[in-house]
Amino acid sequence: NAGVTQTPKFQVLKTGQSMTLQCAQDMNHEYMSWYRQDPGMGLRLIHYSVGAGITDQGEVPNGYNVSRSTTEDFPLRLLSAAPSQTSVYFCASSIGQGVQPQHFGDGTRLSIL
User: What residues line the site for another protein (CB under 8 A)?
Assistant: 4, 31, 33, 35, 40-45, 48, 50, 58-59, 90, 92, 94, 96-107
Quote the least distance from Cβ 85 to another protein, whole Å.
Answer: 18
- At residue 109, what are phi and psi to the nearest 5 degrees? -90, 115
Quote the least distance from Cβ 50 to another protein, whole Å.
Answer: 7
Q: Which is nearer to another protein, 86 or 102 (CB)?
A: 102
